[in-house]
Every structure is written in structure tokens, then in C-alpha cells.
Amino acid sequence: MGEVMEVLGTTEAELRADILAQITAICEPKLPIREDEVTIDQMAKQWGYSRSTAANALDQQVDEGKLAKRKTLSPDTGRECWAYRVVS
């Protein structure tokens, strides 16, 4: 175990918050899906497509500049997935 170092004028809660912020910045966790985004699975279900066909259709629109995509967390599984939104 590491040594405990006393930092005058700083509480344990403040030190903990600083460590959490530093690790969060390093790990860059994915943010939950936003209200203006959809997942591949949601669109595949809506369109009646396979997952790969829906992904190809969405990615084509990203390539054309009509949609944007980013990594996010699936609202259904909590796992990392792609989220798409209309470009303004």
C-alpha cells in the first residue's frame, strides 16, 4: 500500500473528487445516448432491416454529411454502441 500524505487545507472528499476527475479525463468515458440520437438496433427494428443493413444505410448518410455518429452507451444494454443524429 502507498503512504498517506497529509495535504493541509484539503479535505479527503476534495482529494477524492480531484482523483475522480483526473481518471475520468484520462479514460474519457462514453456519455449516455442523447434525446436527438438513435442506435443501429433502434433503426434496424424501425425499418425491419438486419443490423448490418441498417448500419450500412446509416454510415452512408454519415459519409454524405447528413448524419453524425459517435460512440455512446446503449440505453438497452449499457454497452458501447454507435449513436447517430441528424446534422443541423
| pLDDT tens digits, 48-81 | 999 999 999 999 999 999 999 999 988 888 889 9
pTM of the model: 0.69
Q: How confident is the model at residue 22 (pLDDT cuts 50, 70, 90)?
A: very high
Instruction: State the angle between helix axes of 51-63 and 40-47 in degrees (0 to 180), rounded to the nearest 10.
Output: 110
Domain for residue 9, yes or no?
A: no
Domain for residue 66, yes or no?
A: yes
Domain for residue 77, yes or no?
A: yes
Q: How far is CA 47 from CA 4, 74, 78, 80, in A?
A: 58, 19, 23, 22
| Residues of the domain holding 79 | 38-86
Question: How many independent structural domains does the chain possess?
Answer: 1
Domain for residue 2, yes or no?
A: no
How high is the pLDDT of residue 24? 84
Domain for residue 42, yes or no?
A: yes
How far is the C-alpha of 70 from the C-alpha of 8, rounded, in Å? 42
- The number of angstroms, rounded, from the C-alpha of 30 to the middle of its chain's C-alpha atoms is 3
How high is the pLDDT of residue 5? 64
